[in-house]
Amino acid sequence: MTARDDILARVRRSPPAARPLPAMPAFAAPVAPAAASFDDFAAALQRMGGKVAEPPPGSGVAAIARQLFPEAQVIVSATAEVAGDRALADIHHVRELDDVDVGVVRAPLGVAETGSVLLTERELGVEALGFLAQHLVVLLDPARIVATLHDAYLDAAFRDARYTILMTGPSATADIEGVLIHGAQGIRSLTVVPCVAG
């Protein structure tokens, strides 16, 4: 047994007692409740490099990934509303997502203050889908917009998940000569499609 194995075995034998999470304080909202509209969310999302796209008429949301990215070779969908080329249930290792052009997921809520979408292990299925895909298409019910990040923290979708991320636009960096580059470490684009869950 290595020293590492010995240490981990001791930790497993003596876990700390479970404690309830501290209560989340109520913060004064920096924006009026009216700011929890989809238009305010969309404006904040676009400031961060994200996009908003309407579902195509007639075919509805099912064809949105192909409409937005007609050149895509591999689409993987984590929602039954959009069919993908590869079933997420067939993914056994995250490296199997390294060639995904478009990932599709439904977010449980959006945040007007920052233009962020909340994604958890329930929505992503495989967490790496949100980072290894070249482009991410996020379906979002316009009625599920909260005003602030504090409101998001209080929502059951955030509180009850074991893994959460508030994603705001595509991956970006301005480290090299102060030039903003999207997609340097993750998704190259994030597109939100307003649509009620089907």
Q: Which of 6-10, 41-45, 81-85, 185-189 has the lowest mean pLDDT?
A: 185-189
Residue 119: band (very low, low, confident or very high) from pLDDT cuts 50, 70, 90: very high
Contact 172, 182 (CB under 8 A): yes
Q: Which residues of 78-109 are buried (b: 16+ CB within 10 A; e: fewer)?
A: bbebbebeeebeebeeeeebeebbbbbbbbbb
pTM above 0.85, yes or no: no
Sorted by where each starts, the structural domains of the chain and their CATH numbers stand as 31-194 (3.40.50.10420)
Give 61's contacts (C-beta < 8 A, 6+ positions apart): 55, 81, 82, 139, 193, 195, 198
How does pLDDT run across 47-96, given as a tens digit for each residue? 988 999 988 776 678 888 988 999 999 999 999 998 888 888 888 888 88
Beta strand pairing status for 75-77 and 102-107? parallel
